[in-house]
């Protein structure tokens, strides 16, 4: 049984029209002669295999309508829209599967709630440090190392990344590049400020600010900068050592690392999520390439932090 079809079946005409407008979809039928039934069939086709997308686009009134149809008990906290989306997802997934036996497996991954939206944290091909606890706890304080020389091999670079977990970087400043510069120093890497990747022109080192979501999971705070507009951003993303920094702590602990080499799937994510925007504060005239936060949910980065 299709959960999307069941839920959209309870939508009034105004909700169907709003959803289709939100997606940018244009129904095959046009003009005032469109019937509610035609709009409903088009909406079902639009969301057929993507229940989380439907629930994320639905507003509170529509979520309440779906919950009433599904005979779900509404969350006690009336502002808990993310909790309501999660309940509706579970109802729909159980309806389609017949039970919840596979929930949490690779066959039926369970989305988490980040900023009130359902997010599927997909597995990736990257490498991350081992852990016995997920979501990853903030590491205990460690003394900042002082590498005597630049690492000769990738293995040494990753060993250095492991050694800085728990280092406190201190309070944030107006210079957003300061954390990246400090992390490069801790890794023993000399920043060249050129278009080539940071470590020997082979591996780019990027700092990603992460924060605790109200749901308890780690999420990426903002789109990280990749390069200036006149530099090909893919030249920076072929091999990347992502360093997760806790941005909602005053002392900015280093939480974890994730090493990723660009395969076909990652390249497709980059093509989807790279975008340009002004680089700097108000009135900035330069532009840079940035990577959308959703990249980290699909690339394996968030999965390495949250499990």
Report pLDDT digits (tens) over 26-41: 665 445 567 899 999 9
Structure tokens at 67: 């919950």
Q: Which residue has the tokens 């992390």?
A: 183
pLDDT band with cut points at 50, 70 and 90 for residue 284: confident
pLDDT digits (tens, 9 = 90+) for 10-64: 999 999 999 998 888 766 544 556 789 999 999 999 999 899 999 999 999 999 9
From CA 114, how far away is CA 74, in angstroms rounded?
19
| Integer Cα distance of 284 and 274 in angstroms | 20
Identify the three-state secondary structure at position 172: coil
Cis peptide before 135 (omega within 30 of 0): yes
Secondary structure of residue 244 in the 3-state scheme: strand
Nearest partner of 306 among 179, 240, 204, 215, judged by Cα: 215
The contacts of residue 1 (CB under 8 Å, 6+ apart) are 95, 96
pLDDT band for position 194 (50/70/90)? confident
Please state whether beta strands 239-246 and 204-212 pair in parallel, antiparallel, or not at all (unpaired): parallel
Average pLDDT over residues 277-282: 80
pLDDT at 57: 96
- pLDDT digit string, tens, across residues 132-166: 999 999 999 999 999 989 999 999 999 999 999 99
Find all residues with CB under 8 Å of 143, minimum gap 6, and list them. Answer: 167
The closest alpha carbon to 241, from 184, 193, 195, 185, belongs to 184
Spatial distance between the Cα atoms of 165 and 184, rounded to a whole number of angstroms? 13
Q: How far apart are CA 152 and CA 150, in angstroms?
A: 6
How far apart (Å, rounded) are the C-alpha atoms in residues 93 and 110? 9
What pLDDT is recorded for position 29?
Answer: 46
Q: Is the confidence at residue 202, as pLDDT, over 70?
A: yes
Burial pattern 200-219, b for ≥16 Cβ within 10 A else e, equals beebbbbbbbbeebebebbb
Is the Cβ–Cβ distance between 97 and 108 less than 8 Å?
Answer: yes
pTM of the model: 0.87
216-275 pLDDT per residue, tens: 999 999 999 999 999 999 999 999 999 999 999 999 999 999 999 999 999 999 999 999
Between 28-32, 38-42, 168-172, 190-194, the lowest mean confidence (pLDDT) is in 28-32
Note whether 305 and 135 are within 8 A (CB).
yes
Please report which residue ranges of the chain form alpha helices under DSSP H.
3-8, 13-23, 36-47, 51-57, 60-69, 81-97, 154-163, 178-187, 234-237, 264-273, 294-298, 301-306
CA distance 262 to 238: 5
The full set of domain ranges for the chain reads 3-119, 154-306
The alpha carbons of the chain give a radius of gyration, in whole angstroms, of 22
> Can you tell me the mean pLDDT for 176-203?
89
The reported pLDDT for the residue numbered 186 is: 97
Q: Between 109 and 71, whose confidence is greater?
A: 71
Q: What is the pLDDT of residue 53?
A: 95
Mean pLDDT computed over 177-198? 89
Q: Which is more confidently placed, 235 or 193? A: 235
Mean pLDDT value of segment 170-181: 89
For 81-116, the pLDDT digits (tens) are 999 999 999 999 999 888 887 777 777 788 999 999
Distance between start and end Cα atoms, the chain:
30
Answer CATH for 154-306 from 3.40.50.720, 3.30.360.10, 3.40.600.10, 3.40.50.2300: 3.40.600.10
């Amino acid at each position: 049984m299709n959960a999307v079809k069941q839920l959209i079946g309870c939508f009034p005409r105004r909700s169907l029209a709003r959803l289709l407008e939100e997606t940018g979809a244009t129904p095959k039928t046009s003009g005032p002669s469109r019937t509610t039934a035609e709009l409903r069939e088009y909406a079902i086709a639009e969301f057929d295999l993507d229940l989380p997308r439907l629930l994320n686009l639905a507003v509170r009134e529509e979520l309440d309508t779906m919950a009433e149809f599904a005979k779900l008990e509404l969350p006690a906290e009336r502002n808990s829209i993310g909790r309501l989306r999660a309940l509706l997802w579970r109802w729909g997934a159980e309806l389609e599967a017949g039970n919840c036996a596979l929930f949490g497996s690779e066959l039926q991954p369970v989305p988490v709630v980040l900023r009130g939206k359902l997010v599927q944290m997909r597995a990736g091909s990257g490498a991350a440090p081992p852990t016995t606890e997920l979501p990853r706890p903030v590491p205990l304080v460690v003394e900042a190392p002082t590498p005597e020389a630049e690492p000769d091999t990738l293995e040494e670079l990753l060993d250095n990344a492991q050694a800085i977990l728990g280092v406190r970087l201190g309070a944030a400043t107006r210079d957003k590049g300061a954390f990246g510069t400090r992390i490069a120093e801790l890794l023993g890497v000399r920043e060249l400020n050129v278009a080539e990747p940071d470590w020997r022109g082979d591996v780019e080192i990027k700092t990603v600010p992460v924060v605790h979501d109200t749901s308890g999971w780690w999420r990426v705070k903002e789109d990280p900068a990749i390069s200036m507009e006149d530099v090909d951003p893919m030249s920076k993303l072929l091999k990347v050592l992502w360093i997760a920094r806790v941005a909602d702590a005053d002392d900015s602990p280093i939480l974890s690392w994730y090493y990723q080499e660009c395969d076909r799937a990652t390249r497709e994510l980059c093509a989807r999520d790279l975008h340009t925007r002004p680089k700097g504060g108000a009135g900035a005239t330069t532009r840079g390439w940035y990577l959308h936060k959703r990249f980290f949910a699909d690339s394996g980065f968030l999965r390495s932090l949250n499990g």
